[in-house]
Amino acid sequence: MQLNEQNLDGVLVVSPQARRLDASVAGAFRDRVSHCIQSGHNKVVLDLAEVQFMDSSGLTALISVLKAVSVNGGSMVISGVDSNLSSLFQLTRLNKVLRVYPSVREASQALSLDMPG
């Protein structure tokens, strides 16, 4: 899976360039983002604008990243979620956990306002 990574004023924005975040790619996705976190990034935006389908393996990868960044005193937020992904978050009640914003800009701004952990 191709990932675009950019640093916006100290916020790491990770954008998977794939329509599906499923079991065939979720492990590699988790490892790549976790590596970025271990490299010192503790404010992460996952931009899912290109992702049209996610299964429970993709969800598990999101949870792994969220846990990893939280352990380091950081935060992870999500942008670009369509109605299908939104319904998946609701079915699993992860909408109560995941912070979702309409755009990368709004997600980055929200992270910039977070107090350091």
Partner 1 sequence: MSGVGDLGIWLESRLENVSLAGPVVLETARRAGFSHDQAYLLQLAVVEAANNAVLHAYGGRPDNSLEIHMFCKNGLFVLEVSDQGEAMSNTTPPQLEFDPQDFTSLPEGGMGLYLIHMVCDQVDYISSNGRNTLRMRKALPFS
Closest approach, Cβ 76 to partner 1, in A, equals 10
Q: Is 53 in the site for partner 1 (CB under 8 A)?
A: yes
Amino acid letter, residue 115: M
Q: Is 97 in the site for partner 1 (CB under 8 A)?
A: yes
Strand positions, DSSP E, 9-117: 11-16, 20-21, 43-47, 53-54, 75-79, 100-101
Closest approach, Cβ 103 to partner 1, in A, equals 23
Instruction: Count the residues of the shown chain that bind partner 1, applying the rule CB under 8 A.
Output: 25
Q: Is 83 in the site for partner 1 (CB under 8 A)?
A: yes
Q: Which is nearer to partner 1, 24 or 103 (CB)?
A: 24
* Contact region with partner 1 (CB under 8 A), list: 1-9, 35-43, 58-66, 99-107: 58-66
Residue 40 near residue 115 (C-beta atoms within 8 A): no
The C-alpha angle 102, 35, 83, rounded to 5 degrees, equals: 25
What's the burial of 74, exposed, middle or buried (CB within 10 Å: 0-12/13-18/19+)?
Answer: buried
Residues near partner 1, by CB under 8 A: 20, 22-24, 53, 55-57, 59-60, 63-64, 66-67, 70, 83-84, 87-88, 91-94, 96-97
